[in-house]
A = this chain, B = another copy of it.
Amino acid sequence: MSYKEMSKEALQKELEQLKAEYSEICEKDVQLDMSRGKPGADQLDLSMGLFDVFQSTSDLKSENGLDCRNYGLLDGLPEAKRMMAEIMDVKPENVIIYGNSSLNIMYDTVARSYAEGVMGSTPWCKLDQVKWLCPVPGYDRHFAVTEHFGIEMINVPLLEDGPDMDMVEKLVSEDASIKGIWCIPKYSNPTGTVYSEEVVNRMAALKPAAEDFRIYWDNAYVVHHLYEDNQAQIPNILEECEKAGNPDMVYEFASTSKVTFPGVGVAAMATSEANVKSIKAQMTVQTIGHDKINQLRHYRYFKNFDGVKAHMMKHAALLRPKFQAVLDKLESDLRDADIATWTNPVGGYFISLNVMDGCAKKVVQMCKDAGMVLTGAGATFPYGKDPKDSNIRIAPSFPTPKELEQASEILVVCVKIATIEKMLEA
A230 in the interface (beta carbon within 8 A): no
Contact call A44/B67, Cβ cutoff below 8 A: yes
**Residue pair A51, B58 in contact (C-beta under 8 Å):** yes
Q: Are A70 and B39 in contact (CB under 8 A)?
A: yes
**Is there contact, CB below 8 Å, between B115 and A111?**
yes
What are the residues of chain B within 8 A of A287 when measuring CB–CB? Answer: 101, 103-104, 107
Whether B290 pairs with A263 at a CB distance below 8 angstroms is yes
Which of chain B's residues have a CB closer than 8 A to the CB of A103?
286-288
Interface residue A383 (Cβ < 8 Å from any Cβ of B): no
**A294 interfacial contact with B, CB 8 Å:** yes
When the two chains form their complex, are residues A38 and B70 in contact, meaning their CB atoms are under 8 A apart? yes
Q: A288 to chain B: which residues have CB within 8 Å?
A: 101, 103, 141, 262-263
Could you say which residues of chain B place their CB within 8 Å of the CB of A41? Answer: 67, 70
Q: Does A126 contact B (CB under 8 A)?
A: yes
Q: Which of A109-126 contact B (CB under 8 A)?
A: 111, 114-116, 123, 125-126
Residue A99, interface by CB 8 Å = yes
Q: What does the 1/0 interface line of A350-366 toward B look like (CB < 8 Å)?
A: 00000000000000000
Give chain B residues whose Cβ lies under 8 Å from the Cβ of A36.
Answer: 71
Residues of B within 8 A of A274 (CB): none
Known A-B contacts A70-B44, A115-B114; the reply to A263 vs B285 at CB < 8 A is no
Q: A144-B285, A261-B70 are in contact. Are A52 and B56 (CB under 8 A)?
A: yes
**Distance in Å: Cβ of A381 to nearest Cβ of chain B:** 17
Q: Which residues of B contact A402 (CB under 8 A)?
A: none
Interface status of A55 (Cβ within 8 A of chain B): yes
Contact between chains at B125 and A71 (CB < 8 Å) = no
Contact between chains at B291 and A263 (CB < 8 Å): yes
A96 → chain B closest CB, angstroms: 15
Q: Mark A27-51, 1 if CB is under 8 A from B, else 0.
A: 0000000001011010010011111
Asked whether any CB of chain B lies closer than 8 Å to the CB of A399, the reply is: no
Of residues 124 through 175 on chain A, the ones whose CB sits less than 8 Å from some CB of chain B are 125-126, 141, 144-145, 148-149
| Also in contact, A293 and B261, with CB within 8 A (given A126-B125, A287-B107) | yes
Interface string of A275-294 (1 = CB under 8 A from B): 00000001001111111111
Which of A70, A144, A290, A291 has the most chain B CB atoms closer than 10 A to its own CB? A70
Question: Footprint of B on A, CB under 8 Å?
Answer: 36, 38-39, 41, 44, 47-52, 54-58, 67-72, 99-101, 103-104, 107, 111, 114-116, 123, 125-126, 141, 144-145, 148-149, 257, 261-264, 282, 285-294
Q: Which 3 A-B pairs have the closest CB atoms?
A: A48-B56, A125-B125, A51-B54
15 A-B interface contacts by CB (under 8 A): A39-B70, A48-B57, A48-B58, A49-B56, A51-B58, A68-B264, A70-B263, A71-B257, A99-B100, A103-B287, A103-B288, A104-B286, A114-B125, A123-B125, A263-B290
